[in-house]
Structure 1
Amino acid sequence: MDVHWRFIPAARNSYAALYAACEQEGYILEPVRTPAPDVTCYSLNSLNAQNYLHEIAAADCLTIVGGPHATALPEEVAEYADYVIVGEGEFTLPRLLRDIQAGGEGKIPGVMTGGWYKPQNSCVRLDAFPAFSEIKGYVEITRGCPFSCGYCQTPRIFGHCMRHRSVDEIVRYTGRHQQARFVSPNAFAYGSDGIHPRWNKVEALLKACKNQ
């Protein structure tokens, strides 16, 4: 089964992370500028979603749509996409691809399809998935946020519990390039619950990166 990734500049880091996650399971997300058989995947935000609505609806292949917009408005996206991934994709996307390849209907937790939906029953442990592989991306060091700001989707997508990539894993990925960027809802929250900073954890991370 051929699986493609619709290249969208705003989704470059999502591509890097999901490329690596799918690669572990034997699926290579080949980048394309137009939908291509057998499956084309999209990651949309609410600023660009309208630009791809008609393309997805008219695609001559199976379409999988995830990202912040799909998580916020899955019912809307399900009107024109075959499958909608709600929430994190590293575990759900490869699982959905396996189900499709096996002839299933894609009715797995975290996926909306044909009016069917069941929430995800697990969350991603960052160390279980590579930050990136062949496609360079940022190093996501933390996910989640304990707060509930009305303008922010972070807790809705990733939950209120802070999860952190280990120092050893972060150092392993930062060492691959001369320059590395970290992604975190709150950089000073590394190693903490997101409310009470643990400066020793932040200091240990920075020292480890400096000394590599």
Structure 2
Amino acid sequence: MGTSIGTYKGFKPHILMVLAQIAYTFLYFITEASFNHGMNPHVYITYRHIVAGLAMLPFAYFLERKTMPKLTIALLLEIFVLALVGVSLTLNMYFVSLNYTSPTLLASMVNTIAALTFVLAVILKLEDANIRNPRGIAKVLGTLVSLAGVMSMTLYKGPVVKSLGHPLIYIHRGNGVVHENWSKGLILTAASYITWSIWYIMQAYTLKRYPAQLSLTTWMSFVGAA
């Protein structure tokens, strides 16, 4: 029993990351279905982060009220920039690009975020790409494999995969016309993922001065919604 608990704790971050990606996958389809039924992307982002902020607020208050660092003007400005880049700018470009591309493209290209974040972290000397070390080799190879997979998913046009049953989510396309502008969608998607990677790097710096993850998430949600 003790060994099982120890193993679970050791792999807990990996399990949570897998669950987060599964949740994102469902989110892509639900979001596109909402947009194609008339939901405005900017309104969607506002509602989404108001709900996120309200959901996180009780956890942030009760779990971090005794350890929460004091907010200063400099920290508030930093949180504003984080919300602007990671919530407002990133997600507006991200969800607008969904109108021009497809959930499959976004789900595949999201893997570039880890690769871009790693490259930026190496440039800023937050990560060590030591190719003489097995960990460094694994990071570099993982980045290359991720980028190769994204390129394959984006450029390769294979046979259509048909569903054997009825779809769980119906995505309505007005008058049977699919409004896709792949060049515009790809530019918006790429810009979104670049700012997303920058946002991760910025959070690493902010969390050193404000080590309260739940509170920071709550602040970013409300400021981003505003």
TM-score range, shorter chain: under 0.3
Larger radius of gyration: 2
Higher relative contact order (CA 8 A, sep 6+): 2
Using structure 2 for the length normalisation, give the TM-score. 0.25
The structure whose residues are more often helix, as a share, is: 2
The structure whose residues are more often strand, as a share, is: 1
